[in-house]
């Protein structure tokens, strides 16, 4: 499992869709928002949590179409399906590799980019906490979507259409937790909902992803 994780990390960094692309997209979204809504500091402070969460969500989408496609194209996925390692563990490791190379850099960069959007000081820690709790769900759901569309030509658009509706609850509670934290309100409820969503996806979707892959590999 460790060897597979290291392999996926190297592939993610070399084959495009690594942390550099996600960070660049995240930065572009954050920089363009003040140009589109104007330089009003109060307005930027009010929309900052939602904008940062939306930027992180869209940045996660950039690398999903290559999550399983490379292994499908060179036949590695067939070998993994027949290896002693359960397919459920394979898709879990791939989701972990995606989180490390894509979501974790976004979590670390979010406070810095929050300064550009005039995010209140009280909201920085809750923005990071909400991203840490919510982004694992984004990676696991994305892996499920990649399993559904693996092998399809030009499946990137279909993947986005399938995954984005599943991302909505995470986006709602993540942005709400960051907004409440920035306003000095209680963040317990949205954070618990985020944790519950991530726990549920981690418990259920690896099995669903493995089942879909078995069907696609027949």
153-194, pLDDT tens digit by residue?
766 778 888 899 999 999 999 999 999 999 989 999 999 999
Size of the chain in residues: 218
- Measured from the Cβ of residue 199, the count of other Cβ atoms closer than 10 Å reads 13
How does DSSP classify residue 64?
A: G
List of E strands, the chain: none
Question: Which of 41, 34, 45, 28 is closest to 121 using CA atoms?
Answer: 45
Whole-number Å distance between alpha carbons of 189 and 25: 30
Q: Mind listing the pLDDT tens digit of every residue in the chain (218 residues)?
A: 777 788 777 766 665 545 578 888 888 988 888 888 877 888 888 899 999 999 999 988 887 877 887 777 777 777 777 778 888 888 999 899 889 988 899 999 999 999 888 898 888 999 999 999 999 999 999 999 988 888 777 667 788 888 999 999 999 999 999 999 999 899 999 999 999 999 999 999 999 999 988 888 77
Q: Cα–Cα distances in Å, from 156 out to 29, 83, 88?
A: 20, 28, 23
pTM of the model: 0.90
pLDDT of residue 150: 84
Whole-number Å distance between alpha carbons of 88 and 10: 21
pLDDT of residue 16: 52
Give yes or no for a contact between 148 and 162, defined as CB atoms under 8 angstroms apart.
Answer: yes
pLDDT of residue 15: 57
Whole-number Å distance between alpha carbons of 86 and 96: 16
Whole-number Å distance between alpha carbons of 182 and 111: 12
pLDDT of residue 19: 58
Report how far Cα 170 is from the mean position of its chain's Cα atoms: 10
pLDDT of residue 157: 78
Give yes or no for a contact between 52 and 133, defined as CB atoms under 8 angstroms apart.
Answer: no
Q: Cα–Cα distances in Å, from 175 out to 35, 48, 111, 130?
A: 21, 9, 14, 8
């Amino acid at each position: 499992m460790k060897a597979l994780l290291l392999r996926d990390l190297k592939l993610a960094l070399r084959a495009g869709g690594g942390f550099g692309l996600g960070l660049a997209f995240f930065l572009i979204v954050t920089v363009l928002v003040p140009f589109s809504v104007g330089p009003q500091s109060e307005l930027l402070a009010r929309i900052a949590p939602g904008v940062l969460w939306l930027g992180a969500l869209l940045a996660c989408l950039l690398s999903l179409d290559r999550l399983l496609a490379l292994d499908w194209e060179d036949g590695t996925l067939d070998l993994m399906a027949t290896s002693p390692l359960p397919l459920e563990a394979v898709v879990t490791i791939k989701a972990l590799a995606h989180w490390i190379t894509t979501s974790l850099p976004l979590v670390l960069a979010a406070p810095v980019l929050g300064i550009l959007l005039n995010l209140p000081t009280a909201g920085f820690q809750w923005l990071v906490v909400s991203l840490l709790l919510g982004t694992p769900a984004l990676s696991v759901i994305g892996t499920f979507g990649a399993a559904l569309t693996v092998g399809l030509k030009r499946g990137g658009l279909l993947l986005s259409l399938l995954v984005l509706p599943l991302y909505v609850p995470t986006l709602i509670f993540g942005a709400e937790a960051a907004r409440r934290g920035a306003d000095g309100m209680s963040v317990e409820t949205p954070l618990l909902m985020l944790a519950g969503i991530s726990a549920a996806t981690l418990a259920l979707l690896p099995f669903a992803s493995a089942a879909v892959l078995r069907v696609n590999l027949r």
